[in-house]
Amino acid sequence: MPSVSVVVPVKDGAAHLPALIAAVAAQEVAGDAELIALDSGSQDGSRALLAAARGVPVRVLDVAPGEFDHGATRNRGAREASGEFVAFLSQDALPVGPRYLEALLAPLRRDPRLAGATARQVPRPDCDPVARARLAASPVAEDSARVTFATPGELDALPPLERLRRCTFDDVGSAVRREVLLAHPFPKTRFGEDVAWADRVLRAGFGLAHAPAAEVVHSHPRRARALFRRRYLEHRALAELFELDTVPDVARLAHAALGAGLRDVALSWRGGASFADCLLAVPRAAAEVMGQYAGPRDARRGRPWPEWA
């Protein structure tokens, strides 16, 4: 029986799966590992790649595209898992080195009070300067280990941004104690299942760890439409969970868009981006800020989630 089950939601992930499968197969971890792929209607050969995987046992579970949910689908993966621990990966995330899983699981093995641990995220070599700077400023990129607990009532007393920071947890690269996840499952949600779960388990008396010795490579190309959608989803979920609203009105929307545009142009220029990419930093920044504004606004008004969500 494996000691850890690696669970990966998959949707047309053929561009990234060969490297991910090879990285999981190369892991030097106490006990065996298995790979569980939750495939949501892939049409690009992802299933064939998973079926042909060597070096690690692979199971492919079908998820109807219309039934995919960030929380519920991952809960299903945990229920199907055989390992004591469940390690989650995004399909476009790449574990660094053969000791990734062992480093990620180390805090959980040392301290039974911990429910989960997150890996340190590092950008891809071709990551643009703005995305690189954003990731560097994120708690998931910190290179110092930390453990977080919360006393009863402590989270409710914190301002929204501080509460969010205390609940830092990211399923791009994470591991959880399976029995804790089964008892305290991810909520069913369009986005943000990881921070919502962190809030849930901290309130239940468990702790969370950040394990920077476990590194996972992950970053996305920055395109305006995708940036708007991601920020919309992210900030709508954060508004509903933490009452966080960073751009609450049109006046601050205009101010934030201008400031973000100037900042991102400067970051692009100093990072050696081309003149065209420096110019594109402006609409990309505006799209991000617009998503931060529109998501909480729609949450306040009780509007249904958009179809593309």
- What domains are there in the chain, each with its CATH number? 4-217 (3.90.550.10), 225-300 (no CATH)
Residues 6+ away with beta carbon under 8 Å from 67? 73
Provide mean pLDDT across the span 208-226. Answer: 94
Gyration radius of the chain's alpha carbons: 19
State the amino acid at position 143 in one-letter form: D
Taking the C-alpha atoms of residue 217 and residue 68, their distance in angstroms, rounded to an integer, is 25
Which residue in 126, 38, 106 sits closest to 77, CA to CA? 38
Distances 145 to 65, 119, 154 between C-alpha atoms, Å:
37, 10, 22
pLDDT at 307 over 90: no
Instruction: Name the pLDDT band for 308 (thresholds 50, 70, 90).
Output: confident
Enclosing H/E stretch for 259:
helix 250-270
Q: Is 201 helix (H, G, I), strand (E, B) or coil?
A: helix
Burial class (CB in 10 A: 0-12, 13-18, 19+), 46: buried
Instruction: Name the pLDDT band for 34 (thresholds 50, 70, 90).
Output: very high
Taking only the tens place, the pLDDT of each residue in 181-199 is: 999 999 998 889 999 999 9
pLDDT at 301: 94
pLDDT at 66: 86
Tokens found for residue 235: 């900030």
Which residue in 84, 16, 92, 83 sits closest to 56, CA to CA? 83
pLDDT at 1 over 80: no
DSSP lists the bridge partners of residue 17 as: none
pLDDT at 45: 94
Cβ(201)–Cβ(260) below 8 Å: no
pTM over 0.85: yes
Instruction: Name the pLDDT band for 146 (thresholds 50, 70, 90).
Output: very high
pLDDT at 32: 87
DSSP lists the bridge partners of residue 173 as: 89
If you average pLDDT over every residue of the chain, what do you get?
95
Taking the C-alpha atoms of residue 10 and residue 47, their distance in angstroms, rounded to an integer, is 9
